[in-house]
């Protein structure tokens, strides 16, 4: 360590925990309002919880527990320092601790489901390793839909999981299945859906059926080969594994493929239409994804399926039938009163369809399941705005869980609701068959959210002391906003505070919400850098539906969504009717 660096570090060796002298003036005023002779009694603290924090069910015992938890203070109440310490503590979180509180007895189609895309990839879509580790990590986080692309192995006698036509290294299917069984219900007891993108011959399909039944046994939900008339509920499927894929072709369809293969001109025309002439081999799979994952079996069929008997045991495993009917968008979105199914669209296909068929998509998702997946050009495993899918009722908005960034932060925030169980009951307006929600229509303001950004602390402990600036304390600013339907989405910014490890902004922001049921509060902290890109200082995303009124301690997370040990903000949330 150089002498110069040593002097820089030495100047930081003072106390950086928030002192009571740094408490915002409003905090001091609130304390004075509920205290007497410099002490907030148990009864006064109880009144503060009920009146100011809007905790209607708070009891005197709850107030006593708060006092007991704030160590080294008088057992009969809190002085200003103790009160300030409580407000900044983990026992004062921004979200209500409600556990699973949504009605879980409706059909699966009535829920948003925490969904992964290419769940086996450790990195990018072209050359990263395939592994069961990202599957395990996703399940630990509460993801309920795992996607596996299944292909014949190099010797054609077993099944691998990999991203086809790329340089991704394979992982054995059986390893993935065993890890799913072990970790499926660690974070949530509600069902796990495995979506299979199937590139197998019938003999290998039969092998998959054997693997699946032997691995999962009685926890496998297998209703038979026929389509369900209505999806069962998450409650009825607790602890169960569900398979969803496109059912194997019937013999005549396979025969038709074989006939096409025997006609060179038809094959040539078909190939050129499907692939285009200039698509590189490594990108063919991604290019194809934008055509629609449900069409892959048609594009990939090499004739083998027409030469083998179908694997009936494989077909019987499929509980959620996937498929893209022929006949264009209208046929894809047709609602069959006698059966339910899953339809897949790329993010771009959904955006295009939403312009002309927004209400029809919502109507389709009232009974059927819509899965949205990233467009094929996202080879870096980035993600898209999930609100486009959610506001159209799409249950499975599939994300690359390794694709860290703002889109994934929204996904993390959304599924903090309902106890983090991975299933969220869709708002009633998305389920009303008599008045189908139109996402393109601007609605009147339903709720106003006022956010006060008081201050932040903890960076001195969670970051190296020269992380932000080698020679001075950081210059922090915060971004606060809403992610929701287009009319609600906005971001605002505080002033930048120079040279301070404990920034005190004391700024207010107001947000008008037309669809608060789908709104998420976004918070980011950055450090201003004059010459380079601003440094990242933490983020969080919180569902408005479970945001607690009052003054709250808001912990921040890393880019990967991992909670920092010390970094948190002190904020106030107030809700008003317009």
228 neighbors 339 (Cβ within 8 angstroms): yes
Out of 163, 199, 412, 465, which one is annotated catalytic? 163
Query: Are 84 and 21 a contacting pair, CB within 8 Å?
Result: no
Query: Do 78 and 86 meet the contact criterion of CB atoms below 8 Å apart?
Result: yes
Q: Other C-beta atoms within 10 Å of 421: how many? A: 21
Query: Does the active-site annotation cover 72?
Result: no
Question: What's the angle, vertex CA 385, arms to CA 384 and CA 386, rounded to 5?
Answer: 105
Catalytic annotation present for 46: no
Count helices and strands in the chain by DSSP H and E runs: 18, 22
Helices 251-261 & 264-275 angle (0-180, nearest 10): 100
Cα gap 33→48, rounded to integer Å:
9
- Closest residue by Cα to residue 545 from 392, 416, 393: 416
Residue with tokens 């934008």: 290
DSSP 194: E
Q: Output b/e per residue, 345-354; b: 16+ Cβ within 10 A.
A: bbbebbbebb
Contacts (Cβ under 8 Å, ≥6 apart) of 89: 69, 70, 553
CB 398 within 8 A of CB 118: no
DSSP-derived 3-state class of residue 193: strand
Residue in 189, 186, 153, 156 with CA at minimum distance from that of residue 169: 153
Burial label for 489, CB within 10 Å (0-12, 13-18, 19+), is: middle
Can you say whether the dihedral through the CA atoms of 341, 346, 347, 350 is positive or negative?
negative
- Could you give the CA distance from residue 483 to residue 409 in angstroms, rounded to a whole number? 11
Asked if 396 and 369 count as a contact pair (C-beta separation under 8 A), the reply is: yes
Give the pairing type, strands 396-399 and 111-116: parallel
Determine the longest span between alpha carbons in the chain, in angstroms.
94
Number of Cα atoms under 13 Å in the Cβ half of residue 98? 18
Identify the helix (H) or strand (E) that includes residue 41. Answer: strand 40-41
Choose, from 102, 114, 117, 465, the residue flagged as catalytic.
117
3-state helix, strand, coil in the chain (%, to 5): 35, 25, 40
Catalytic residues: 117, 163
């Amino acid at each position: 360590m150089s002498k110069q660096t040593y002097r820089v570090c030495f100047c930081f060796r003072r106390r950086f925990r928030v002192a009571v002298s740094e408490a915002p003036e409003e905090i001091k005023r609130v304390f004075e309002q509920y205290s007497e002779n410099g002490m907030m009694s148990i009864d006064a603290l109880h009144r503060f919880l009920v009146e100011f924090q809007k905790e209607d069910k708070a009891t005197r015992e709850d107030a006593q527990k708060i006092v007991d938890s704030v160590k080294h203070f008088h057992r009969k109440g809190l002085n200003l320092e103790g009160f300030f310490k409580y407000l900044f503590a983990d026992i004062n979180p921004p979200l209500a601790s409600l556990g699973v509180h949504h009605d879980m007895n409706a059909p699966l189609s009535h829920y948003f489901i925490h969904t992964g895309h290419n769940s086996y990839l450790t990195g990018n879509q072209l050359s990263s390793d395939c592994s069961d580790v990202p599957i395990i990590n996703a399940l630990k986080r509460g993801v309920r839909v795992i996607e596996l692309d299944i292909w014949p192995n190099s010797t054609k006698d077993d099944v691998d999981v990999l991203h086809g036509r790329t340089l991704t290294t394979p992982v054995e299917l059986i390893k993935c299945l065993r890890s799913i069984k072990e970790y499926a219900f660690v974070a949530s007891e509600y069902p796990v859906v495995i979506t299979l993108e199937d590139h197998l011959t019938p003999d290998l399909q039969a092998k998959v059926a054997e693997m699946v039944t032997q691995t999962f046994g009685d926890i496998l939900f297998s209703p038979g080969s026929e389509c369900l008339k209505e999806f069962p509920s998450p409650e009825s499927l607790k602890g169960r594994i569900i398979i969803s894929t496109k059912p194997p072709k019937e013999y005549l369809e396979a025969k038709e493929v074989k006939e096409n293969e025997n006609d060179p001109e038809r094959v040539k025309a078909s190939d050129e239409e499907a692939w285009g002439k200039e698509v590189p081999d490594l990108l063919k799979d991604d290019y194809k994804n934008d055509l629609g994952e449900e069409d892959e079996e048609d594009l990939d069929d090499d004739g083998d399926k027409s030469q083998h008997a179908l694997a009936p045991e494989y077909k019987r495993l499929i509980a959620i039938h996937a498929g893209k009917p022929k006949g264009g968008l209208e046929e894809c979105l047709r609602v069959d009163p006698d059966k339910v199914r899953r339809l897949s669209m790329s993010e771009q296909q959904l955006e295009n369809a939403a312009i002309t068929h927004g209400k029809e998509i919502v109507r389709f998702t009232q009974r059927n399941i819509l899965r949205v997946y990233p467009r094929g050009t996202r080879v870096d495993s980035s993600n898209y705005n999930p609100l486009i899918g959610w506001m159209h009722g799409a249950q499975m908005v599939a994300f690359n869980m390794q694709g860290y960034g703002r889109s994934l932060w929204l996904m993390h925030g959304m599924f903090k609701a309902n106890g983090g169980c991975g299933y969220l009951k869709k708002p009633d307006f998305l389920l009303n068959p008599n008045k189908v929600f139109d996402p393109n229509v601007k609605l009147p303001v339903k709720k106003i959210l006022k956010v006060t950004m008081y201050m932040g602390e903890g960076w001195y402990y969670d970051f190296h002391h020269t992380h932000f600036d080698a020679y001075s304390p950081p210059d922090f600013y915060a971004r606060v906003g809403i992610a929701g339907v287009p009319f609600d989405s906005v971001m605002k910014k505080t002033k930048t505070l120079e040279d301070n490890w404990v920034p005190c902004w004391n700024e207010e922001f107001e947000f008008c919400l037309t669809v608060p049921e789908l709104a998420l509060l976004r918070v980011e902290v950055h450090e201003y850098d004059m010459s380079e890109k601003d440094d990242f200082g933490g983020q969080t995303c919180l569902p408005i539906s479970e945001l607690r009124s009052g003054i709250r301690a808001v912990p921040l997370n890393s880019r990967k969504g991992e909670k920092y040990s010390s970094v948190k903000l002190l904020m106030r949330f107030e809700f008003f009717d317009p």
